[in-house]
Structure 1
């Protein structure tokens, strides 16, 4: 309507636009992302003699930034005779929205350098920049400036401070700001709840829920969605049901955030039936609840049901996205059915989803689980090197490793390091497992030492388990035991279990007894440990000791679980 009236104004010829008219017109172009029209209007401002009007120039800055034209905005900014606080704030906010956070900080520093006093809008613009860059120290200096200039009385500024500290991982400082606030709104509470969830304090997030109710702050859909996420991670079913009831009372139950959160929460609490019940009441045209149901089925091992849901999505013409395929592909990996894997591969090719690196990663994992390493490597080879992230490298390395192709797995690991990709704990687990399956003892030891030397923060208990298994299979039991004794943390049941398994293979009673002693303490109800120790005694002819172990198992009341197998014939 604004543009229509502006055109009529020009057509009438009775009055000319002035410095008050152009900002409204430019703002309309900005909100509608009409860059070409905005450029024309910019030209008219210059012709009409309003090109140096501060209000007009500020509007142009916002329009160009909103349309993603950072360079054009910068040219307007540099041509300004006088920069108002609005000009600086617009540039800071614009650079952040366009993914140039470092440039935003430079603009803020330039603002202070020119002696311009920041206002509340400046603080609200620059604090998210510090959070995005995790520049906690810079954020603290801005916090001090906020207090010095008396800007902290504004609740929006306080909320921005809480959010900044949350994103920097400084929850103690976020809580200090939070506790000192005389007034808190739903944004304040939601920021703190999300902060605790993101920084590993899920229980603290849930503890804020009754406090928010006591403060008489009405939650919004985002708040309840975050709390449902906390319940899902802790498997707090009863608390999740209470939140479900709360959402119904607040009339949020049909909000897509709540629907998705409930589906996810019930699935992760292993009540997929309740997930399906919530899903049955959703609008079947929205993609997100479908994606949540797919992930929920995978979490509960219902691969066939996930594929059935995917087919139903296609029948009902639900729009698919990358998240849909990322949720679905693990179903094909679980089933490890090569024919079905080839069918979904064909679909991905036709639909164009293989341009997404995450989808390619899922398909590579599926082919690897099906044993078709050739197809997995072909897809891997077609992905540009710049798009090969650590997850993709880890999947292909693990794929070769699980099929005994340790040499190839080690070669791929070395290529990855040469390309400058930093390995993580999952990558090291994958390559060490590959060495174990292929019996590459020396290569495994070299990689383990490489990890300890170059990536000391990456080592985990799982890596020691891999090495104990590797050395144990090779009969190097003393080295394996020495490695266990030199672990920086207390050995887990998995580490001692790997050593005990190796002692069974090589009939080493002495080390087997040592491993079993710890396992009986760490896992007193695991029948497998007693069975393995009894087996070692039996093999070396110590029948009386074997009987004592079995008798001890019976005294505790343990019974060996019966084995079972499953054969699928014609999808039955």
Structure 2
């Protein structure tokens, strides 16, 4: 490109961040600085996002100094990104100081701080901020709930689990798939695995993480096959494998497929599902391996196209 602008630099940095290549995003950011372009608030937020993904505290501090020089400290969105970076780099104490001095806090500011405390194992502070937020007439959204529920899960106290569950219902988030998945996980970690299963069964739609939360919940509570009937488990794991294909989760898909193949299914559709998961992830060697399995299976007279 002959004439680069801040917008074109930002697009490149954002592209790498969105594609989970944070290191390359930081290299582009540094090149932008080296060529004399002045970062915008968008540039700074993207660079902070990359630093957070890398857990790179030193470069994060450098960007902090840079945004001060650019007088972006009054930009709430930039400061939210800064808090998130410090929290993910295990310096939630610095994030807390920024939050305390921040003027014009938004819901995103509160969510960032609650999540930061929860991710760093400081459950009491996460819950305290959650209560403070509501006392200031700041209504929680689904992201707030998904941030605070795992913090309660760490406490493993059923009474508080029921309290947050009641709040979820009152705030009409009981149809949100991610909030409900967090509740399933929370109840399982509190030892109330039967309540978790009731919620799981009530859900109209389940994300792949919902299946993972339920199955892990049974495993954690030592109930295994007896609690989540694996006979005929092929139905459960087949649905889970289908969810993995939709949500492109290779690792969990492999776990589901392993369970299915242990049950020696008559149908070959599960092999096709697994092959499609590998195909989407461009894991060609594994696609070929599954196709060979299909050819060896008794009853497969003709190999059906996996993709």
TM class, shorter-length = 0.7 to 0.9
Pick one of 235, 252, 257 that aligns with 1:427: 252
Task: Tell me, yes or no, if structure 1 residue 404 matches structure 2 residue 222.
Answer: yes
Mapped to 1, the partners of 2:184 and 2:116 lie a distance apart of 22
Classify 1:402/1:189 alpha carbon distance in 2 versus 1 (closer, same or farther; 3 Å). same
Mapped to 2, the partners of 1:268 and 1:243 lie a distance apart of 15
Pick one of 320, 339, 342 that aligns with 2:162: 342
Classify 1:232/1:413 alpha carbon distance in 2 versus 1 (closer, same or farther; 3 Å). farther
Deviation at 1:281, TM superposition (A): 1.7
Classify 1:422/1:270 alpha carbon distance in 2 versus 1 (closer, same or farther; 3 Å). closer
Q: Deviations over 1:438-462 (max 9, x none)?
A: xxxxx68716999888526869xxx
| Structure 1 runs not aligned, ≥5 long | 1-180, 436-442, 460-572
Pick one of 150, 173, 178 that aligns with 1:358: 178
Pick one of 236, 254, 258 that aligns with 1:415: 236
Mapped to 2, the partners of 1:447 and 1:191 lie a distance apart of 48
Greater Rg by CA: 1
Higher RCO (CA < 8 A, seq sep 6+): 2
Pick one of 90, 100, 106 that aligns with 1:270: 90
Contact kept in structure 1, 2:238 and 2:256, CA below 8 Å: no
Q: Deviations over 1:439-497 (max 9, x none)?
A: xxxx68716999888526869xxxxxxxxxxxxxxxxxxxxxxxxxxxxxxxxxxxxxx
Mapped to 2, the partners of 1:206 and 1:448 lie a distance apart of 48
Cα RMSD (Å): 2.8
1:158 aligns to what? none
Mapped to 1, the partners of 2:53 and 2:196 lie a distance apart of 32
Mapped to 1, the partners of 2:38 and 2:130 lie a distance apart of 37
Classify 1:319/1:365 alpha carbon distance in 2 versus 1 (closer, same or farther; 3 Å). same
Deviation at 1:284, TM superposition (A): 5.5
Mapped to 2, the partners of 1:345 and 1:391 lie a distance apart of 19
Task: Tell me, yes or no, if structure 1 residue 446 matches structure 2 residue 271.
Answer: no
Mapped to 1, the partners of 2:107 and 2:256 lie a distance apart of 37
Deviation at 1:409, TM superposition (A): 6.0
Mapped to 2, the partners of 1:333 and 1:413 lie a distance apart of 30
Classify 1:308/1:245 alpha carbon distance in 2 versus 1 (closer, same or farther; 3 Å). same
Count of residue correspondences: 268
2:303 aligns to what? none
Deviation at 1:353, TM superposition (A): 1.6
Contact kept in structure 1, 2:244 and 2:253, CA below 8 Å: no
2:133 aligns to what? 313
Q: Deviations over 1:102-134 (max 9, x none)?
A: xxxxxxxxxxxxxxxxxxxxxxxxxxxxxxxxx
Classify 1:410/1:251 alpha carbon distance in 2 versus 1 (closer, same or farther; 3 Å). farther
Deviation at 1:425, TM superposition (A): 4.0
Q: Deviations over 1:528-571 (max 9, x none)?
A: xxxxxxxxxxxxxxxxxxxxxxxxxxxxxxxxxxxxxxxxxxxx
Task: Tell me, yes or no, if structure 1 residue 395 matches structure 2 residue 213.
Answer: yes
The alignment's TM-score, normalised by the length of structure 1, stands at 0.43
Task: Tell me, yes or no, if structure 1 residue 374 matches structure 2 residue 194.
Answer: yes
Deviation at 1:261, TM superposition (A): 1.1
Secondary structure of 1:355's counterpart equals: coil
Task: Tell me, yes or no, if structure 1 residue 184 matches structure 2 residue 4.
Answer: yes
Mapped to 1, the partners of 2:263 and 2:44 lie a distance apart of 46
Q: Deviations over 1:276-312 (max 9, x none)?
A: 0111122364100111111111221111211111011
Task: Tell me, yes or no, if structure 1 residue 259 matches structure 2 residue 79.
Answer: yes
Secondary structure of 2:174's counterpart equals: helix
Mapped to 2, the partners of 1:428 and 1:293 lie a distance apart of 33
